């Protein structure tokens, strides 16, 4: 059994590039030309609250970079909002280009590796109206955008992420599968377009969610888990490894260029999904005793599941692995430190179990408490953001991570320093509550 307080000091055998990740729509604010902003205004009933000024980072980006420096981050993943560069079809906003160029200059001056995401969840509203990624005939808008923006910034970018998490979704409807294929082809076209101007490694961020059968010996649970795993995870790895786009109830397509579309595996790892053959969705519930309700809303019943990271990592030993997101939403910051300790332990164990595995980077999600796509309640940040003044305040977990970065490792003593006691551990009550636990 692991005691987080007495763990021996461990140093990762190779240097890891440490830092944090954010996304434009979630932090910049006033992202008025994006599809998301449009939907938030048009359908407020689907949102707890709109993104509004988010963390006001479009104005306060210099402060964010100072924060990264203060916290010792070596790398920063952020997205460039396509809709700011091209607010309307055919129109370029040079002020927005200059903004991101200045940001990249400042990161370079601070010696911080810039990992640039080209599209993280939000696209220009004009592009969404044309049908977005699903229509392959739209992809030239994206590659033309790349032809414009990438040469203007490439010399300061350390790594690229073309799209974020298009792999999610287990539906097998023609529309759902078409969305997947369209996104995969857009990723491929985008990756090849970027490579014309940049030698920096290219990938797309994969939400690697372990599809875990609820009853591991039950044939239907296992079949559903295998199917979900193919739909969510393996179709992507298979496509990149072989060029074959293989999805259920579709003719296989061979796109050989896919084999050049990822120089590394970019993995966003958070948790697992229990899979069952006994519900219409295929998704089971997490066992009551393993569920955590750590923010005052129903947010996927997070649980601590570091062993699933090992399952995922074991499948990615053929390219460098970058953990491009990992974190937890909680109001009690000590939980973030516990979660991160367990993740670091899982990384250590994975490296020991799978000697061919190469973990090159760890980017914590997220630098700031930000807009979680429909609400500000789930707080993933290493830093608190005052919702009125936008003042940023690092939490203890930020200082904890700084020491991890300095050591390229972790120890029980470090945990003890930041979490000296856990006597008043707060778990929320309510409909989806976990059990009432007090940890002394
Ligand atoms: C997404 C982020 C999101 C985070 C936490 C990831 O899947 O890339 O945008 O905020 O999860 O839910």
Residue pLDDT, tens place only, 229-248 = 999 999 999 999 999 999 99
Predicted confidence band at 431 (pLDDT cuts at 50, 70, 90)? low
| 209 CA from centroid of ligand 1 (Å) | 12
Report whether residue 371 contacts ligand 1, using a CB cutoff of 6 Å: no
Ligand 1: atom nearest CA of 164 is 8
Task: Write down all domains in the chain, each with its CATH number in brackets.
Answer: 4-418 (3.20.20.80)
By mean pLDDT, which of 275-279, 298-302, 396-400, 407-411 is the weakest?
298-302
Q: What is the mean pLDDT of residues 170-195?
A: 97
Assess whether pLDDT exceeds 70 at residue 436: no
Categorize the per-residue pLDDT at 430 as very low, low, confident or very high, splitting at 50, 70 and 90: low
For residues 212 and 436, which has the higher predicted lDDT (pLDDT)?
Answer: 212
Residue 440 has pLDDT above 70, yes or no: no
pTM over 0.85, yes/no: yes
Q: What is the pLDDT of residues 262-320, one digit of tens each?
A: 999 999 999 999 999 999 999 998 887 777 778 888 787 778 889 999 999 999 999 99
- For residue 129, is pLDDT > 70? yes
Residue with the bigger pLDDT between 427 and 35: it is 35
Q: How confident is the model at residue 63 (pLDDT cuts 50, 70, 90)?
A: very high
Report the pLDDT averaged over residues 372-384. Answer: 97
CA of 217 to the centre of ligand 1 (A): 32
Mutational pocket test of ligand 1: of 268, 299, 322, 382, the residue with most ligand atoms within 8 Å of the beta carbon: 268
What separation in Å is there between the alpha carbon of 368 and the centre of ligand 1?
12
138 or 291, higher pLDDT: 138
Q: What is the pLDDT of residue 425?
A: 65
CA of 395 from ligand 1 middle (Å) equals 20
**Model confidence over 328-366: pLDDT tens digits?**
999 999 999 999 999 999 999 999 999 999 999 999 999
pLDDT bin (cut points 50, 70, 90) of residue 327 is very high
Report the separation in Å between the CA atom of 77 and the middle of ligand 1, taken as the mean of its atom positions: 13
User: Which atom of ligand 1 is found nearest the CA of 168?
Assistant: 7
For residue 299, give the ligand 1 atom closest to its CA.
12
In ligand 1, the atom with minimum distance to the C-alpha of 300 is: 12
What sign does the dihedral 99-139-204-180 (CA atoms) show? positive
Percent share of the chain, pLDDT over 70:
95
Closest residue CA from atom 12 of ligand 1 = 372
Indicate if the pLDDT at residue 438 is higher than 50.
Answer: no
Q: Which residue has the higher pLDDT, 35 or 306?
A: 35
Question: Considering the chain, what is the average pLDDT of its residues?
Answer: 94
For residue 427, name the pLDDT band (cuts at 50, 70, 90): low
Looking at ligand 1, which residue's alpha carbon is closest to its atom 9? 23
């Amino acid at each position: 059994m692991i005691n987080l307080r007495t763990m021996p000091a461990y140093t990762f055998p190779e240097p890891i590039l440490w830092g944090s990740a954010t996304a434009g729509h979630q932090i910049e604010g006033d992202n008025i030309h994006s599809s998301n902003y449009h939907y938030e205004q048009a359908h407020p009933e689907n949102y707890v609250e709109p993104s509004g000024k988010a963390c006001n980072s479009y104005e306060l980006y210099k402060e964010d970079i100072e924060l990264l420096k203060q916290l010792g981050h070596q790398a920063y993943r952020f997205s460039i909002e396509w809709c700011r560069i091209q607010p309307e079809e055919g129109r370029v906003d040079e002020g927005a280009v200059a903004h991101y160029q200045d940001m990249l200059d400042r990161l370079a001056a601070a010696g911080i590796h810039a990992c640039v995401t080209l599209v993280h969840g939000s696209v220009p509203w004009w592009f969404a109206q044309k049908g977005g990624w699903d229509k392959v005939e739209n992809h030239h808008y994206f590659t033309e955008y790349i032809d414009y923006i990438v040469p203007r910034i490439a010399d300061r970018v350390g790594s690229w992420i073309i799209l974020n998490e298009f792999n999610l979704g287990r539906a097998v409807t023609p529309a759902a599968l078409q969305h997947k294929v369209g996104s995969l082809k857009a990723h491929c076209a985008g990756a090849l377009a970027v490579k014309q101007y940049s030698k920096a490694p290219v990938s797309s961020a994969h939400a690697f969610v372990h599809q875990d059968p609820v009853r591991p010996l039950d044939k239907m649970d296992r079949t559903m888990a295998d199917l979900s795993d193919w739909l969510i995870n393996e179709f992507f790895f298979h496509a990149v490894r072989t060029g074959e786009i293989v999805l259920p109830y579709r003719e296989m397509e061979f796109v050989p260029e896919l084999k050049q579309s990822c120089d590394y595996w970019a993995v966003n790892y958070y948790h697992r999904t229990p899979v069952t053959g006994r519900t219409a969705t295929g998704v089971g519930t997490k066992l009551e005793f393993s569920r955590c309700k750590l923010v005052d809303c129903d947010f996927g019943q997070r649980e601590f599941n570091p062993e699933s990271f090992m399952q995922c990592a074991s499948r990615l030993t053929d390219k460098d692995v970058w953990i491009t997101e990992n974190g937890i939403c909680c109001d009690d910051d000590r939980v973030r430190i516990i979660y991160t300790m367990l993740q670091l332990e899982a990384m250590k164990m994975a490296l020991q179990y799978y000697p061919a595995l190469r973990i090159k980077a760890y980017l914590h999600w997220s630098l700031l408490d930000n807009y979680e796509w429909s609400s500000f309640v789930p707080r993933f940040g290493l830093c608190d953001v005052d919702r009125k003044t936008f003042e940023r305040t690092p939490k203890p977990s930020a200082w904890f991570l700084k020491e991890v970065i300095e050591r390229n490792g972790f120890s029980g003593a470090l945990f003890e320093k930041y979490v000296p006691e856990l006597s008043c551990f707060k778990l929320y009550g309510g409909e989806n509550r976990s059990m009432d636990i007090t940890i002394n």
